[in-house]
Amino acid sequence: MNTGSDEAGEVAVAADKARADRPEGGQEAGQEGGQEAGHEAGRGLGSRAPEFIKARRLLHLSWQVGVFVVGLAVVAAGIVMLPLPGPGWVVIFGGMAIWATEFVWAQLVLRWTKRKVTEAAQRALDPRVRRRNITLTVIGLVIIGVLVGIYLWKFGVVMPWKIEDQ
């Protein structure tokens, strides 16, 4: 992955400079207090661990291992939930968010995912796309209704098992 520098501490230094350039309170000029849009993109990449943990190499490494293990457990649970009942994708993205608190690669994946989801939402709100989706849904429901009607006309309402025998 190319972060734009070959130096190890360059990402953290850039994040610290970005924080120092912001006005008091962490708000960009002209940005209201409740707005989160744009704030995420301005945030630097790198570890979100507390400063006292980042100050000690062994403690920071232990913190990263712990974050990785917890994130891995959440992602694994999400993968298990994909074929089973449960919110699999939501849990997987939750695990990615846990990883993103420590790892740059996970932060980049989450930013890409957020951008793609936003683009898909904008495309879904396009009137032509909505009209097409509604038309396809109506056609699908008509086809299903016709098939159910043909089945009922041919076989009637008969249960596939005999309840009275039991």
| pLDDT tens sequence across 119-155 | 988 888 888 888 998 999 999 999 999 999 999 988 8
For the cut 70, the answer to whether the pLDDT of residue 71 exceeds it is: yes
Q: How confident is the model at residue 34 (pLDDT cuts 50, 70, 90)?
A: very low
pLDDT for 11: 46
Q: Which two tokens stand for residue 73?
A: 């457990």
Mean of the pLDDT values across residues 68-81? 93
For the cut 60, the answer to whether the pLDDT of residue 104 exceeds it is: yes
Q: Which two tokens stand for residue 51?
A: 């400063």
What's the rounded Cα separation, in Å, for the pair 111 and 4?
Answer: 17
Q: How confident is the model at residue 10 (pLDDT cuts 50, 70, 90)?
A: very low
For the cut 60, the answer to whether the pLDDT of residue 30 exceeds it is: no
What's the rounded Cα separation, in Å, for the pair 85 and 125?
Answer: 29
Greatest distance between any 2 Cα atoms in the chain? 80
Q: Which two tokens stand for residue 116?
A: 């793609």
For the cut 60, the answer to whether the pLDDT of residue 33 exceeds it is: no
Mean of the pLDDT values across residues 77-91? 90
